[in-house]
Amino acid sequence: MTDGPPDASDKAPERPEQAFKPRSTREVPRFAGASSFLRLPFHDDPRDVDVLICGAPFDGATTYRPGARFGPRAVREASALTRGYHPASGVDLFERLRCADGGDILCVPMEIERTLENIRARVAEVLAAGAVPALVGGDHSISLGALRAVAAHHGPVGLVHIDAHADTFGPAWGVDLHHGTVFRHAQQEGLLRQGGVLQLAIRGPLTSASDLDFAHAAGFELLMIDAIKRDLAKVEARLARAAASGPLYLSFDIDAVDPAYAPGTGTPVPGGLTSYEALCLVRALAGAQLVGLDLVEISPERDPGGQTALLGASLLAEALSVLAASR
């Protein structure tokens, strides 16, 4: 055996500094080339990046209007208009984070459990590589697959959940697993940190007075839409405290936003967030230890103008800037 240099196969793979950034619009116009999340390169291997963004095009758990399976495709296309530098935080997220589009996870339209297992396995792979998984759905059921992997890796985690609905409801038509039950299941499976769940922008109408009983009994903190409208700064301060509380998972349902701003969703609820308020809520988590995130329920066929997908792409970039601020 010689004392020569180690074999190339023993070396850690090189990570080029410029490899995982959007290509300059001075080189390629925004309307040209293949669409990807935030105009990032497609790259399958999570070992090379800090954040891997994957589509989860599943809407087999919707209880009203389907169509969110086309959400990832629409967000990719809308991402052409996003930019990496955030003047509010002074962060250039692609200078601090290596990010890539990891493609779509196989989602089987008629098999929710198989789909959730595929999501769990992919998210587990990303976490094992030391990267942060970011998912674009798809309906809200995809969060359960992701949380199963995140909790297995980190232990029970805190949750910041921005949505018109608490998603802690009971079965529908005898079916216990659908997009309105996802966080009840997550709580019952022990995936969420006790006292660490914050739900924002929840509003009515509700089916009955008992609809939020499970969330309250589980110790979830609910900030209804009225609290945000009355005092946005106070809610931002509450989110800043949540950001300092330990590992967090962020789940943003686009129907948290008023349908005047985001009509492209399956269960629109009037009286929601403005686009600005939505971005502010995510921005308030700056510096948080985000261990995973998702953006769900964008149904582009309900929005021919594409403003919902554009807002979704902007929220995705805002969430990544939260991660970048902690680097």
Cα separation, 123 vs 100, whole angstroms: 14
Cα separation, 118 vs 285, whole angstroms: 29
Crossing angle for the helix pair 307-325 and 71-78, to the nearest 10 degrees: 80
Q: Which residues sit opposite 51 in a β-bridge?
A: 99, 132
- Domains for the chain: give ranges and CATH numbers: 16-325 (3.40.800.10)
- Backbone phi and psi for residue 139, each to the nearest 5 degrees, phi listed first: -85, 175
Cα separation, 223 vs 203, whole angstroms: 9
Which pLDDT belongs to residue 18? 46
The b-or-e profile of 203-228 (16+ CB within 10 A means b, else e) is beeeeeeebbebbeebebebbebebb
Cα separation, 157 vs 107, whole angstroms: 25
The b-or-e profile of 92-113 (16+ CB within 10 A means b, else e) is ebbebbbbbbbbbbebeeeebe
With beta carbons less than 8 A apart as the criterion, state whether 292 and 143 touch. no
Residue 311, pLDDT > 80, answer yes
Average of per-residue pLDDT across 202-223: 93
Average of per-residue pLDDT across 67-93: 91
> When comparing pLDDT for 188 and 20, which is higher?
188
Question: What's the pLDDT tens digit per position in 216-261?
Answer: 999 999 999 999 999 999 999 999 999 999 999 999 999 999 999 9
Question: What's the pLDDT tens digit per position in 24-49?
Answer: 777 777 888 788 999 999 999 999 99
> Average per-residue pLDDT in the chain?
91
Q: How confident is the model at residue 104 (pLDDT cuts 50, 70, 90)?
A: very high
* Residue 238 tokens, joined: 């509450």
Beta strands in 66-191 (DSSP E): 85-86, 91-92, 99-104, 132-137, 157-162
Least confident of 30-34, 211-215, 265-269, 279-283: 30-34
Average of per-residue pLDDT across 154-172: 95
Q: Helix (H, G, I), strand (E, B), or coil: what is residue 197? A: strand
Q: What is the dihedral of CA 181, 158, 299, 49, to 10 degrees?
A: -140
Residue 130, pLDDT > 60, answer yes
Cα separation, 111 vs 88, whole angstroms: 42
* Residue 34 tokens, joined: 């293949």
Q: Write the DSSP string, 54-78.
A: EEE---TT-SS---GGGHHHHHHHH
